[in-house]
Amino acid sequence: MVKELVYRAADRRQIPVVVVANQSIPIPKSAFVRRVTVRDGADMADHAIVAASKAGDLVIADDVPLAARVIENGVLVITSRGELYNERNIHNRLATRDLMEQLRLSGVETGGPKAFGKKDAQAFANQLDRTLTKLLKRSAR
């Protein structure tokens, strides 16, 4: 669902989208969407994303440590549930993630996120639209 929203936004706004993964992922035929396949290995896709990202880019990721790394490059991050991560809020989100990981490692059952639903997809679509509008206005200056 999220990928399809991103692909449609790329075509509608004529902006490039790069899908990075360590395996071949199907992408639509589009002049604006391309795939980069990296070597298999721990965090290889993350390393490629960080290396290629620059200020003014937008990354779609639920991986909080990856988000923290690209935000250092001036990148904005949107999660699949429509939460916007930036330099003002990523440190708190990373601290929460680290605390939850420590609790899990100590044996506490923390549960997982609720199932992805229509409200999440709508929140993502709305945040994607707002963020792209903001980034495109900035780049037009």
Question: What pLDDT is stored for residue 111 in this prediction?
Answer: 80
Length of the chain: 141
Instruction: Determine the Cα–Cα distance for residues 110 and 101; give it in Å rounded to an integer.
Output: 9
Instruction: Summarize the confidence of residues 27-41 as an average pLDDT.
Output: 95
Element (H, E) at 136: helix 118-140
Question: What pLDDT is stored for residue 51 in this prediction?
Answer: 96
> Which residues neighbour 13 within 8 Å (Cβ) at sequence distance 6 or greater?
132, 136
Query: Is it the case that residue 118 has pLDDT exceeding 80?
Result: yes
Q: What is the pLDDT of residues 45-102, one digit of tens each?
A: 999 999 999 999 999 999 999 999 999 999 999 999 999 999 999 999 999 999 999 9
Q: Please report which confidence band the pLDDT of residue 41 belongs to, taking 50, 70 and 90 as the band edges.
A: confident
Instruction: Determine the Cα–Cα distance for residues 61 and 89; give it in Å rounded to an integer.
Output: 15
Question: What pLDDT is stored for residue 64 in this prediction?
Answer: 96
